[in-house]
Amino acid sequence: MSTFTEHKTTVFDKFPAMRTPHLELVQITEKHANDLFKILCDKQVSQYYNLLPPEDEKDCQRLIDYFRERFKSKAAIRWGIQLNDNNEIIGTVGFNHFTKKHRANLGYDLQYDYWNKDIIAEALYAVISFGFFALDINRIEAEVMEGNDPTIEVLHKIGFHQEGILRQWHYWDDKHYDMLMFSLLRSDGEA
């Protein structure tokens, strides 16, 4: 039986692109800087981020470099979301970090025009399956800012459980925010 470390070594040798019935999850590269800029500058998309929107495509290039370095160091993985018939990145999805205890933190974003079309749920199912089976993760977590109802709805839809509130856990833009903690365990899918 393989250990988590062995899976990480194999999985991280080459970026693991994935295909679903309607989507391709691909490595984000320099050619996607404009797509990222479009996504991250949309206030409806970024209103619950703890980051300021990029000022220009150079900021997006730095973000792409960051994604690449995190992947190389086997610390995180972020996919670009494309429709099967299009090369444009319409969102991103992935694990922001891993811990030694087989735990990963989930994050995603999606162009507003594609909300409420089950696109993010389809992408999340693929990423979660990858996490549980390719990376041998036991627990996937998501922290969500209170009021981010679209994300809360998606997480409930795909089986996440809300565990509680992290009071004033997040500090951004000179304010403290409560965050909702969600989790999905590998065993949740076995019930």
What is 4-138's CATH number, 2.40.40.20, 3.90.950.10, 3.40.630.30, 3.40.50.300? 3.40.630.30
147: which 2 tokens? 């009021």
For residue 190, what pLDDT band results from cuts at 50, 70 and 90?
low
Q: Tell me what pLDDT residue 2 has.
A: 36
Work out the number of other CB atoms within 10 angstroms of the CB of residue 55: 10
Q: For the segment 68-99, what is each residue's pLDDT rounded down to a tens digit?
A: 999 999 999 999 999 998 999 999 999 999 87
Give the three-class secondary structure for 51: coil
| Residue of 103, 105, 110 lying closest to 94 (CA atoms) | 105
What is the spatial distance between Cα 70 and Cα 78, in angstroms, rounded to a whole number?
Answer: 9
Which of 33-42, 100-109, 138-147 has the least mean pLDDT? Answer: 100-109
H or E element that contains 165: strand 161-172
Which of 7-16, 59-68, 109-118 has the least mean pLDDT? Answer: 7-16
For residue 44, what pLDDT band results from cuts at 50, 70 and 90?
confident
Query: Is the predicted pLDDT of residue 4 greater than 50, yes or no?
Result: no
Task: Report the b/e string of 146-162 with b at 16+ CB within 10 A.
Answer: eeeeebbebbeeeebee
Q: For the segment 120-152, what is each residue's pLDDT rounded down to a tens digit?
A: 999 999 999 999 988 989 999 999 999 899 999
